């Protein structure tokens, strides 16, 4: 069964001057962990707000849990958990009070659905009397997740839940999402971090209001059209300049410790690349073929 | 119903946790009610006076003595020329120049008529106005005294005299505090009702918590009631504190019924909360809400008859005051506190306020949107 269906959604702001979504369609299966990957301004938050019944689309239809977002928004609000990108719990209420409040608002209690949030909440328990505004970034996100989960939603919308969170907390956060998936909860999560994309069942790559591709992370990587080369040397900046000046270069960008490079013609240009760089007298030159990451695929699609 | 109780519980928790709100609610009324009425004094004392006496006679000396002896004037300069007197006004050390012409005494005795000149510095309108009229009445009084002197040895037929003795009803001593304090209390209640409620709601928008609330099944009226009820209670609390302060500090005991005051305040607060809600619907940040509220409060105060009498306003301004809920409450407060008016007398005000409450809240609910 499909948990979230969006078909041909359009949305623009400022009377049509700023397009935010252009013909966006996607569907998320029940119990699927679906990632929305894209840079800032890709339209991820707009899509979330439409699906969470906070915003009306200009055109197109969307269904959440089989219910239309326009007509049945009241019913949808009982069934979804939404975690906005910005921390939006009551900062002057304590951890416990926030959770208790959101449980009560949904007509339930902390005890009733405690099993769902137990793993996360246990980490927060030592701080349960602390004001939410005084928590660290990672703790805040964990509390927000608890509050979005406490009414046992069937669909979870997480808008950039790990932005501004330290790497350890990010890892923990994704482990929790994997567990929630086991409970049959469908999760739509957005992130600007490409490394998190590989943790999703399927991802949609978004850019400027459009969806570039939807597939499993491994398929997306398989679809990478060319061989990818990682090139490094002592003078990395000069190397980048030289690689970009190379006549057979298709694309080159710096990527951590090395530069990632694609060539116009994989077979014939590889040899001339070696020769070209040796001529430029780069020291410690290393040229290897590597397996592309989602980020490489994303860069290739732009 | 249950949802509402959770919302109220949360709201009160937040209010009592916020020291600045508590300060605004409890300390501000105390300070304003105690300090403002003492400062907003309509009686003008210490009017600085420059005397320019060209006559130097017994009568002119008597007049000056009478003026200074009245207690309202402070003799600052005794000038010898008009130009010298004017410099004292120009450097702001004198508010009024009293010029007694030469032959003042002679003219008064021989021709039964003498003139004095009052030059009033009108930069400070209130002081000029009142100082001028005080001095006028003192000179008139002086005139009377002289007539009495002459009556002892009557010459021709003395002119018939008409003396006016006003008797001030409801406020026999013209105690300005009696009408200032209830008025200021109304402004305070208005600020708690509109300012604080608007800021509170806009804060949810600014911090983003409203997003989280909007995706919950909380209904529109739940949310609105959850915001209005706490500030309604606080508004009544401020009314009670204010009345207590005016009783303890100024000894003002309402002549009319306290129940009536609270009854009116309860309905009035509904109207004011409606304004707060409306303001919050049209602002996205607390700063915007502050500015709109500030503008409204200014209009409400200036057009509310607190400092300037509505009866003295031009017709168009009077029309504006008809749309000012503050004007109604100030009038009701004064009627009940000073005059002891009953329900019957304030019925027209009550009707108007009920209408305001319905219109403002109706508009507010209509314009509040859970999603764009």
Contact A232, A258 (CB under 8 A): yes
Handedness of CA B302, B304, B310, B316 (dihedral sign): positive
CA A163 to chain centre: 10
CA distance B23 to chain A (A): 17
**A236-253 pLDDT, tens digit each:** 888 888 888 888 888 888
Which residues in chain A touch residue B212, judged by CB atoms under 8 angstroms apart?
Answer: 82, 84, 88-89, 102, 147
Distance in angstroms (rounded) separating the CA atoms of residues B74 and B71? 8
Contact B117, B99 (CB under 8 A): yes
Distance in angstroms (rounded) separating the CA atoms of residues B249 and B185? 14
- SS3 track for A228-244: EEEEECCCHHHHHHHHH
CA A193 to chain centre: 6
Nearest to B286 by CA among B219, B361, B196: B196
Q: How many other C-beta atoms can be found within 10 angstroms of the C-beta atom of residue B58?
A: 9
**A108-127 pLDDT, tens digit each:** 998 998 988 888 888 888 99
B237: which 2 tokens? 């609390």
Q: In the structure, what pLDDT confidence band is assigned to residue B253 with cuts at 50, 70 and 90?
A: confident
CA distances from A39 to A17, A36, A44, B148 (A): 20, 10, 9, 98
CA distance B276 to chain A (A): 21
pLDDT of residue B327: 92
- Tell me if B371 and A55 make a contact (CB, 8 A cut-off): yes
pLDDT of residue B62: 86
pLDDT of residue A85: 85
**B160-209 pLDDT, tens digit each:** 567 677 777 777 766 777 878 888 889 889 988 888 889 888 988 888 88
DSSP A194-212: GGGGGGSSEEEEEETTEEE
Residue with tokens 């339930």: A108
- Tell me if A82 and B212 make a contact (CB, 8 A cut-off): yes
Q: In the structure, what pLDDT confidence band is assigned to residue B267 with cuts at 50, 70 and 90?
A: very high
Distance in angstroms (rounded) separating the CA atoms of residues B118 and A232? 97
**Assigned CATH topology for domain B47-152:** abc type-2 transporter like fold (3.40.1710)
Which residues in chain B touch residue A52, judged by CB atoms under 8 angstroms apart?
Answer: 215
Q: Reply yes or no on whether the pLDDT at A158 is more than 90.
A: yes
Q: Nearest by CB to A93, from B2, B13, B208: name it.
A: B13
Higher pLDDT, B166 or A273: A273
Nearest to A189 by CA among A75, A74, A38: A38
Distance in angstroms (rounded) separating the CA atoms of residues B299 and B274? 17
What are the boundaries of each domain within chain B? Answer: 2-40+175-367, 47-152
Q: In the structure, what pLDDT confidence band is assigned to residue B90 with cuts at 50, 70 and 90?
A: confident
Backbone angles phi, psi at A80, to 5 degrees: -110, 155
- Tell me if A80 and B216 make a contact (CB, 8 A cut-off): no
Residue in chain A closest to B206 (alpha carbons) equals A88
pLDDT of residue A47: 93
For domain A2-222, the CATH superfamily is P-loop containing nucleotide triphosphate hydrolases (3.40.50.300)
Which residues in chain B touch residue A78, judged by CB atoms under 8 angstroms apart?
Answer: 217
Residue with tokens 């996100």: A141
Residue in chain B closest to A58 (alpha carbons) equals B372
**What value of ipTM does the predicted structure carry?**
0.77
pLDDT of residue B127: 76
Contact A130, A139 (CB under 8 A): no
DSSP A39-81: -TTSSHHHHHHHHTTSS--SEEEEEETTEETTTSHHHHHHHEE
- Straight-line distance from the first to the last Cα atom of chain A, in angstroms, rounded to the nearest whole number: 32
Cα A25-A27-A29 angle, rounded to 5 deg = 175
| Least confident window among A210-224, B3-17, B132-146 | B132-146
Note the CATH number of domain A228-301.
3.30.70
Q: Report the pLDDT averaged over residues B215-226.
A: 87
Cα B313-B315-B316 angle, rounded to 5 deg = 100
Nearest to A70 by CA among A53, A84, A92: A53
In residues, how long is chain A?
302
User: Strand A186-191 and strand A33-37: pairing?
Assistant: parallel
Taking the Cβ of residue A87 and every Cβ of chain B, the question of whether any pair is shorter than 8 Å is answered with: yes
Q: How many other C-beta atoms can be found within 10 angstroms of the C-beta atom of residue B136?
A: 11
pLDDT of residue A229: 86
Q: Nearest by CB to A101, from B6, B208, B371: name it.
A: B6
Taking the Cβ of residue A133 and every Cβ of chain B, the question of whether any pair is shorter than 8 Å is answered with: no
Which residues in chain B touch residue A73, judged by CB atoms under 8 angstroms apart?
Answer: 371
Q: In the structure, what pLDDT confidence band is assigned to residue A279 with cuts at 50, 70 and 90?
A: confident
Which residues in chain A touch residue B370, judged by CB atoms under 8 angstroms apart?
Answer: 54
Taking the Cβ of residue A134 and every Cβ of chain B, the question of whether any pair is shorter than 8 Å is answered with: no
pLDDT of residue B264: 95
CA distance B242 to chain A (A): 29
Q: Nearest by CB to B215, from A53, A90, A91: name it.
A: A53
Q: Nearest by CB to A88, from B3, B208, B218: name it.
A: B208
Q: How many Cα atoms occupy the beta-carbon half-sphere of A167 within 13 Å?
A: 1
CA distance B174 to chain A (A): 49
CA distance B246 to chain A (A): 35
Distance in angstroms (rounded) separating the CA atoms of residues A109 and B171? 60
Taking the Cβ of residue A15 and every Cβ of chain B, the question of whether any pair is shorter than 8 Å is answered with: no
Higher pLDDT, B121 or B166: B121
Distance in angstroms (rounded) separating the CA atoms of residues B371 and B215? 9
- Straight-line distance from the first to the last Cα atom of chain B, in angstroms, rounded to the nearest whole number: 27
Q: Reply yes or no on whether the pLDDT at B117 is more than 90.
A: no
Residue with tokens 């001095």: B135
Backbone angles phi, psi at A272, to 5 degrees: -65, -25
Q: Which of A14, A67, A88 to mutate to test the interface with B (most CBs of B within 10 A)?
A: A88
**B330-372 pLDDT, tens digit each:** 999 988 988 888 888 899 999 999 999 999 999 988 887 755 5
- Tell me if A82 and B10 make a contact (CB, 8 A cut-off): no
Helix or strand (DSSP H, E) at A4: strand A2-13
Provide the chain A residues 53-82 that lie in CB contact (below 8 A) with chain B.
53-56, 73-74, 77-78, 80, 82
Residue in chain A closest to B218 (alpha carbons) equals A105
Q: Reply yes or no on whether the pLDDT at B124 is more than 90.
A: no
CA distances from B179 to B41, B167, B168, B225 (A): 11, 17, 13, 34
- Tell me if B6 and A104 make a contact (CB, 8 A cut-off): yes
DSSP H helices in B215-285: 220-248, 258-281
DSSP B1-36: -HHHHHHHHHHHHHHHH-HHHHIIIIIHHHHHHHHH
Which positions ≥6 away from B144 have C-beta within 8 Å?
B161
Distance in angstroms (rounded) separating the CA atoms of residues B151 and B140? 16
- What is the DSSP-derived secondary structure letter of residue A94? B
**A166-200 pLDDT, tens digit each:** 888 888 889 889 988 988 899 999 988 888 888 99
- Tell me if B216 and A106 make a contact (CB, 8 A cut-off): yes
- List residues in chain B touching A: CB distance below 8 A: 2-3, 6-7, 10, 13-14, 17-18, 207-218, 370-372
The mean predicted confidence, pLDDT, of chain B is: 84
Taking the Cβ of residue A256 and every Cβ of chain B, the question of whether any pair is shorter than 8 Å is answered with: no
Q: How many Cα atoms occupy the beta-carbon half-sphere of A230 within 13 Å?
A: 11
Q: Reply yes or no on whether the pLDDT at A223 is more than 90.
A: no
Which residues in chain A touch residue B213, judged by CB atoms under 8 angstroms apart?
Answer: 105
Taking the Cβ of residue A127 and every Cβ of chain B, the question of whether any pair is shorter than 8 Å is answered with: no
Nearest to B197 by CA among B24, B345, B371, B324: B24
Helix or strand (DSSP H, E) at B75: strand B73-79
The mean predicted confidence, pLDDT, of chain A is: 88
Distance in angstroms (rounded) separating the CA atoms of residues B257 and B345? 13
Distance in angstroms (rounded) separating the CA atoms of residues B195 and B199? 6
| Least confident window among A62-71, B30-39, B210-219 | B30-39
Residue in chain B closest to A11 (alpha carbons) equals B372
CB pairs under 8 A between A and B: 69
Contact A67, A2 (CB under 8 A): no
Q: Nearest by CB to A89, from B2, B7, B212: name it.
A: B212
Q: Report the pLDDT averaged over residues A141-152.
A: 91
Residue with tokens 């006559």: B55
Taking the Cβ of residue A102 and every Cβ of chain B, the question of whether any pair is shorter than 8 Å is answered with: yes
pLDDT of residue B370: 57
Taking the Cβ of residue A105 and every Cβ of chain B, the question of whether any pair is shorter than 8 Å is answered with: yes
């Amino acid at each position: 069964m499909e948990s979230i269906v969006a078909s041909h959604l359009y949305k623009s702001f400022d009377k049509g001057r700023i397009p935010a979504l252009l013909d966006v369609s996607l569907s998320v299966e029940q119990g699927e962990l679906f990632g929305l990957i894209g840079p800032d301004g890709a339209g991820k938050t707009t899509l979330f707000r439409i699906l969470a019944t906070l915003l009306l689309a200009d055109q197109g239809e969307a269904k959440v849990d089989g219910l239309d977002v326009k007509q049945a928004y009241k019913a949808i609000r009982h069934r979804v958990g939404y975690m906005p990108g910005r921390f939006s719990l009551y900062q002057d209420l304590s951890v416990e009070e926030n959770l208790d409040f959101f449980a009560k608002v949904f007509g339930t209690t902390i005890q009733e659905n405690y099993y769902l949030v137990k793993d996360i909440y246990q980490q927060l328990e030592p701080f349960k009397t602390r004001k939410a505004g005084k928590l660290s970034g990672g703790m805040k996100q964990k509390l927000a997740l608890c509050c979005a989960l406490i009414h046992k939603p069937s669909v979870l919308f997480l808008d950039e839940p790990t932005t501004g969170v330290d790497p350890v907390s990010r890892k923990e956060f994704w482990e929790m999402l994997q567990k929630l998936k086991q409970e049959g909860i469908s999760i739509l999560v957005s992130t600007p971090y490409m490394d998190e994309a590989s943790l999703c069942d399927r991802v949609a790559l978004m850019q400027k209001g459009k969806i570039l591709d939807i597939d499993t992370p491994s398929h997306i990587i398989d679809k990478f059209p060319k061989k990818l080369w990682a090139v490094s040397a002592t003078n990395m900046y000069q190397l980048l300049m030289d690689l970009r000046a190379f006549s057979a270069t298709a694309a080159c960008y710096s990527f951590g410790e090395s530069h990632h490079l694609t060539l116009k013609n994989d077979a014939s240009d590889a040899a001339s690349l070696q020769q070209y760089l040796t001529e430029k007298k780069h020291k410690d030159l290393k040229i290897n073929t590597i397996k592309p990451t989602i980020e490489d695929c994303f860069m290739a699609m732009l | 119903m249950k949802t509402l109780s959770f919302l109220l519980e949360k709201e009160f928790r937040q209010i009592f946790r916020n020291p600045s709100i508590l300060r605004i609610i409890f300390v501000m009324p105390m300070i304003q009610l105690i300090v403002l009425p003492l400062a907003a004094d309509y009686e003008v004392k210490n009017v600085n006076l420059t005397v320019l006496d060209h006559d130097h006679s017994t009568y002119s000396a008597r007049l000056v003595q009478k003026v200074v002896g009245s207690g309202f004037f402070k003799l600052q300069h005794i000038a010898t020329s008009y130009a010298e007197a004017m410099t004292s006004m120009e450097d702001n050390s004198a508010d009024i120049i009293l010029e007694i012409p030469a032959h003042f005494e002679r003219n008064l005795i021989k021709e039964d008529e003498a003139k004095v000149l009052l030059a009033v510095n009108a930069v400070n309108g209130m002081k000029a106005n009142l100082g001028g009229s005080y001095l006028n009445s003192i000179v008139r009084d002086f005139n009377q005294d002289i007539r009495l002197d002459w009556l002892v040895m009557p010459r021709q037929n003395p002119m018939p005299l008409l003396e006016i003795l006003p008797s001030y009803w409801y406020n026999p001593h013209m105690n300005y505090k009696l009408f200032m304090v209830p008025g200021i209390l109304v402004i305070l209640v208005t600020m708690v009702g509109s300012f604080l409620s608007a800021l509170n709601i806009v804060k949810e928008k600014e911090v983003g918590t409203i997003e989280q609330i909007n995706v919950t099944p909380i209904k529109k009226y739940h949310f609105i009631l959850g915001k209005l009820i706490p500030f309604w209670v606080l508004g009544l609390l401020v009314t009670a504190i204010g009345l207590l302060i005016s009783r303890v500090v100024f000894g003002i005991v309402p002549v009319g019924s306290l129940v009536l005051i609270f009854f009116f305040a309860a309905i009035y607060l509904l109207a004011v909360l409606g304004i707060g809600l409306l303001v919050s619907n049209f602002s996205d940040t607390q700063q915007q809400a502050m500015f709109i509220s500030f503008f409204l409060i200014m209009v409400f105060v200036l057009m509310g008859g607190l400092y300037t009498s509505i009866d003295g306003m031009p017709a168009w301004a009077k029309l504006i005051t008809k749309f000012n809920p503050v004007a109604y409450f100030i009038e009701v407060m004064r009627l009940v506190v000073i005059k002891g008016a009953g329900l019957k007398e304030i019925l027209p005000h009550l009707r108007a306020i009920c209408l305001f409450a319905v219109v403002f809240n109706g508009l507010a609910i209509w314009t509040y949107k859970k999603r764009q």
